[in-house]
Amino acid sequence: MSVRRGADPGLDEIRKGREEAGPVPRKGVGPVAWFDIRRRGLGHFAFSLNRITGLGLVFYLYLHLAVLSTLLRGEDAWDSFLGVATSKFFLLLDVLLIFGLLAHGLNGLRLALVGSGRAVDQQKALYRSIQVIGTILLLGAALRLMGSE
C-alpha cells in the first residue's frame, strides 16, 4: 500500500498494511508529523524517536570519523585529544550516545519484528520490554563510564 504525504490512510488500510510484511504505514508522514503528538499512540512516539535518534546517530558517525582523523596526526595529537574526551562533560555525551544507540537499536529491532509480521500483536509488550532492557543497559553503561573517571 502507498502512503502519500499529507494523506491520512484510514484505520482499515493501516491495519491491513500492518499485517503485510514491510514498513509499517503511518497516519501522517514527514518531519512535522514526528512532533505532532495529538491523538497519536505508542507506535507514533516510537517511530518519531527512531527518526530523531537516527539523525543524531548519523551526525555522530561523521563527528566520530572527524575525531578519528586526529589519529592520523600522530601520538601527541591523539593523546592531547584524550585529555578533552575523558572530561566529565564528554563522558556525559558518551552516555547520551549510548542512550541514542539503545533507543534506536532496540526500537529498530522491534520495528523489524513487527514489520516482518513476526510480532504484530505483541508490539506494545515488545515496546515495554525494550524500555526495561534499555534502561538497565543504559544505567550499567553510565555507571561504568562515569565510574572510570
Partner 1 sequence: MATTQAPSATPERSRSRTWAWTAGSGVALLVLVTIHMVAHHFVVEEVGGLRTYAQVLEYIGNPVIVVIELAFLVVVTIHAMLGLRSVLFDFGLSERAKRLADRGLVALGVVTVAYGIVLIGVLASRA
Q: Give the binding site for partner 1 (CB under 8 A).
A: 1-2, 4-6, 21-23, 29-31, 51, 54-55, 57-58, 61-62, 65, 68-69, 71-72, 74-75, 78-79, 82, 85-86, 90-91, 94, 98, 101, 105, 108-109, 111-112, 115-116, 141, 144-145, 148-149
Specify the residue, 116 or 135, whose C-beta has the smaller distance to partner 1. 116
> What is the sign of the dihedral through the CA atoms of 139, 140, 145 and 149?
positive
CA distance 36 to 54: 18
Through-space distance between the first and last CA atoms of the chain, rounded to whole angstroms: 52
Q: How is residue 95 written as a grid cell?
A: 552516555
The least distance separating partner 1 from the CB of residue 30, rounded to whole angstroms, comes to: 5
Q: How many CA atoms lie within 13 A of 21 on its CB side?
A: 2
Least separation in angstroms between CB 71 and partner 1: 6
Q: Which is nearer to partner 1, 42 or 90 (CB)?
A: 90
Q: Are 110 and 123 in contact (CB under 8 A)?
A: yes
User: Least distance from C-beta 89 to partner 1, angstroms?
Assistant: 11
